[in-house]
Structure 1
Amino acid sequence: MGKIEWAMWANEQALASGFILLTGGIVGVAGQFRGWEFAAYAVGQYCFTVCVKAFGPLTRNYYVRAFLHAAVCVPGGFMLATVLGCVCLGIASLIYLVAAIRGEHWEPILPRKEVRKPAAESIKNPPQNPPPRPPPEMRRKRVEDMEGAAYDNPISVTADE
């Protein structure tokens, strides 16, 4: 069996919890519930994304991600509309911790330059006769290809004789 990639599951869980937290934040702010300020932070998730990108290599470490997700989920626990998102984010934090303990690390996916191999000679010159084709050594040679050949058939009958 293959090795489980825990970080992949943590990423999926964090993404889903972000949507749940955003939904709860919108409901909390729109309903002006008591403590709606805690819901307002859930709506501004773009700020968290900018912070994660700004810290670069530090936030690529899964121990740091586990701690950051645990810290970010705390304010969501103070309001009912964002509790579910808070719990989901806490679960993502635990999964990131498992990924860090298992020794996983984040590697960026960068575009690769494609190295094109030169086209084979058979691709440059398409076949001239329809399939099925005999192997190359069994094919008849065309007269045009035989011009200048070193072999003349002595048995061939000419009109001069």
Structure 2
Amino acid sequence: MGQIEWAMWANEQALAAGLILLIGGVVGVAGQFKSWEFAAYGIAAGTFVILLEYPRGMRRKGTTMERPGQRFLAAVVKLFGPLTRNYYVRAILHACLAVPGGFILPTVLGTVNLGIASLIYLFAAVRNEEWNPIQALQPQKGQFGKSIHQPPTNPPPRPPAEHRRRPVDETGAVHVLATPVTLDSN
């Protein structure tokens, strides 16, 4: 059984937390809650967390699927170097961002999720995981199509060779494929 990569779980949790924090902030400001300033903070913090967490990190195996449009944000996250690559820093950052959201009801759920993501990032940091950008796979020239000598002529599902239709030419004659015939002498 393989090792669990905790940073992937933390990334998904933090991205969901940022979205929930953003929505809770919008509800708090639009609903004119008391202390709506905390809800406005929730909008700003949620947006920041979403932008930070949208680019996925590369797995150790290298089999990570890229999110649509993540290359642009990954370049920005990569630009900040160890501040965004180190999961200890992310754990502390998410824990600090989560505190002010707990003072108003619409942002409490996002705050709890961000706190959980902070704990998972801390666990990933203890396991020596680090954020690395997903490298674009370079197509290898000349390798594609070498194993296929003649592509199939009919679409799948293909019947077995003995049940396929025999080719017919313009004169209407059926071409019989040469198959060895064995006769029993019984």
Alignment of structure 1 residues 136-151 onto 2, 5 Å: none
Distance 1:25 1:8, change over 3 A: same
Task: Identify the match of residue 64 of structure 1 among 65, 89, 114.
Answer: 89
| CA drift at 1:117 | 2.4
Query: What is the alpha-carbon root mean square deviation over aligned residues?
Result: 3.0
Corresponding residue of 2:42: 42
Which digits, 9 at most, give the CA deviation of each residue in 1:89-134, with x for residues without a partner? Answer: 000000000000011111110212111225549738x9xxx97899
Alignment of structure 1 residues 1-161 onto 2, 5 Å: 1-44=1-44, 45-47=46-48, 49=51, 53=77, 55-117=80-142, 120=146, 123=149
d(CA) in 2 for partners of 1:131, 1:63: 69
In structure 1, stretches of 5+ residues that fail to align are: 135-161
Match of 1:25, SS?
A: helix
Distance 1:14 1:133, change over 3 A: farther
- TM-score normalised over the length of structure 1: 0.69
Report percent identity of matched pairs: 61
Could you tell me which amino acid in structure 2 is paired with residue 123 of structure 1? H
d(CA) in 2 for partners of 1:106, 1:131: 59
| CA drift at 1:15 | 1.0
The number of equivalent residue pairs is: 132
Query: Greater helix share, 1 or 2?
Result: 1
Matched-pair contact (CA < 8 Å) for 2:7–2:121: yes
d(CA) in 2 for partners of 1:121, 1:9: 39
Which digits, 9 at most, give the CA deviation of each residue in 1:129-160, with x for residues without a partner? Answer: x97899xxxxxxxxxxxxxxxxxxxxxxxxxx
d(CA) in 2 for partners of 1:132, 1:10: 62
Could you tell me which amino acid in structure 2 is paired with residue 70 of structure 1? A
d(CA) in 2 for partners of 1:43, 1:102: 32
| CA drift at 1:27 | 1.0
Corresponding residue of 1:139: none
Match of 1:123, SS?
A: coil
